[in-house]
Structure 1
């Protein structure tokens, strides 16, 4: 049976990054994110559940960093799980994670692991450079070793 290239797991993840995060097209969340979706990130106290709460997360982040751009540096998939190594850049213009606007440019790297079922994201685990983000926003100072 032929696989529809548009619903291949890596294509779903790439499309979500490009449309939702980079193009700020939040309407695509309904098409690409399953009702049972769960988002995990160590910088967030509790997992985000469902498309509506995920939309709020994206709105808040994109509102704080309106020129946010995520670049996929590497992506591999085993057919259901997609691992993505990325770089994210932008400028903080509004409060972010209870940090007042700094006007600082951010440039961080990270990894995401997405589980795809029936052409939709059902789970995302993000591990990005939280220390680097906080350092770039002036919350913590870089310490020499």
Structure 2
């Protein structure tokens, strides 16, 4: 059985959103996210609206300029898209209250999007915050057994 055109379109929208929003194009939020977006699971607190969501990516791109983003897995239907992502970069400016460390980071996470038309209407984010904080030196590494 083949995917519906809507499902394929949803996959394309989400892949583009992840690559561009994490690639110093936060203005993609205005194009691909509904004005009344609902956001869940963001470390430090959920953005309250689309403008705050866009600012999240402005801050992320400032903290990790030139970061690369990969989207190795996307699973979709006509209303939802789940994606696994990976970000690699260098911490060059404050992020989440952590001053710039100059350390390299390589962390991943998962996200589920609810789609309305050709836009993201709701987001459930599940980043690997522990790995990121350990790499930034803000959380101790687990001790070897």
Q: TM-score, normalised by structure 2?
A: 0.88
Report the counterpart of residue 17 of structure 2 in structure 1. 16
Aligned-residue offset at 1:140: 1.5
- Matches for 1:83-98 after TM superposition, within 5 Å: 83-98=82-97
Q: Structure 1: which 5+ runs fail to align?
A: none
Identify if the C-alpha distance between structure 1 residues 112 and 14 changes in structure 2 by more than 3 Å, giving closer, same or farther. Answer: same
Coordinate RMSD, CA, aligned: 1.8
The 2-side partners of 1:42 and 1:26 are apart by 17
- Matches for 1:20-99 after TM superposition, within 5 Å: 20-22=21-23, 24-45=24-45, 47-99=46-98
Residue 111, structure 1, aligned to residue 114, structure 2? no
The answer to whether the 8 Å contact 1:34/1:50 transfers is no
Q: Structure 2: which 5+ runs fail to align?
A: none
